């Protein structure tokens, strides 16, 4: 009797694991989010199976019925696609906000205007990407606000638009970094350690921005194909 129960339990676990593995292959987004979804659904499947067992179904049929209640892996993946896309967009935008100052500070120290030239125009002349940074910051702030807690009061930004915003911020940063490296190259500034650090920081972010743009495009195309 005990061995039957163990075998039945193994069979049920195998059905749950196969279903969740199929679902895992169809989920696209931040790894931790995907893992949390799968852990939560495994618990839900267990409860649904227990309910069917309590109704008198044999274990394997109970597991099959529970899985049918949850829907096909593709249907569940489609249902989570928006949330995962929003999570990816928010995480990407938060990354740009957190790392932006670590790139910008070196360019500011390197190319800041002379002390006797003050004002916004002098700053923009010295660091021409300031308008791009302003647009990126405004886009980032608005997207984070309207995909997070402030969406209770502000119009909600949907996952597709949030991804578009994250991509736009990546493109702005990419453009800004390329512009700053070009400005440095054309200025004839001697290659001091500050210039090397600023260029290295921008090159690192360029690589990250290209990865972000490619990944976001893949997520958008997968959402469109659903």
Least CB distance to another protein at residue 152 (A): 6
Among 5, 17, 40, 102, binds another protein (CB under 8 A): 40
The DSSP output letter for 114 is P
DSSP string covering 160-186: HHHHHHHHHHHHHHHHHHHHHHHHHHH
Contact 88, 167 (CB under 8 A): no
Which residues from 43-82 bind another protein, rule CB under 8 A?
Answer: 43-44, 46-48, 51, 69-71, 75-76, 78-80, 82
Per CB under 8 A, 149 contacts another protein: yes
Rounded-to-integer distance, Cα 126 and Cα 129, Å? 9
Among 41, 62, 111, 195, binds another protein (CB under 8 A): 41
Per CB under 8 A, 86 contacts another protein: yes
Least CB distance to another protein at residue 90 (A): 8
Rounded-to-integer distance, Cα 208 and Cα 200, Å? 12
Per CB under 8 A, 152 contacts another protein: yes
81: Cβ contacts below 8 Å, ≥ 6 apart: 28, 159, 222, 223, 226
Size, binding site for another protein by CB under 8 A: 28
Q: Which residues in this chain contact another protein in the complex, by CB under 8 A?
A: 36-37, 39-44, 46-48, 51, 69-71, 75-76, 78-80, 82-83, 86, 147-149, 151-152
């Amino acid at each position: 009797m005990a061995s039957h129960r163990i075998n039945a339990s193994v069979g049920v676990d195998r059905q749950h694991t196969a279903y969740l593995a199929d679902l895992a292959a169809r989920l696209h987004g931040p790894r931790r989010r995907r893992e949390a979804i799968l852990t939560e659904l495994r618990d839900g499947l267990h409860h649904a199976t227990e309910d069917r067992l309590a109704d008198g179904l044999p274990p394997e049929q109970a597991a099959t019925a529970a899985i049918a209640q949850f829907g096909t892996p593709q249907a569940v993946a489609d249902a989570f696609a928006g949330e995962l896309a929003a999570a990816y967009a928010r995480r990407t935008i938060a990354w740009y906000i957190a790392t932006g100052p670590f790139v910008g500070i070196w360019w500011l120290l390197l190319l800041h205007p002379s002390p006797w030239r003050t004002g916004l125009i002098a700053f923009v002349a010295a660091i021409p990407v300031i308008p791009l940074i302003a647009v990126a910051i405004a886009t980032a702030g608005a997207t984070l606000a309207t995909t997070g807690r402030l969406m209770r009061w502000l119009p909600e930004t949907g996952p597709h638009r949030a991804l578009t915003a994250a991509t736009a911020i990546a493109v702005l940063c990419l453009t800004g970094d390329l512009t700053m490296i070009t400005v440095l190259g054309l200025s004839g500034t001697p290659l001091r350690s500050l210039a090397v650090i600023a260029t290295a920081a921008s090159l690192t972010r360029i690589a990250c921005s290209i990865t972000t743009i490619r990944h976001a495009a893949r997520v958008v195309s997968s959402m469109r194909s659903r």
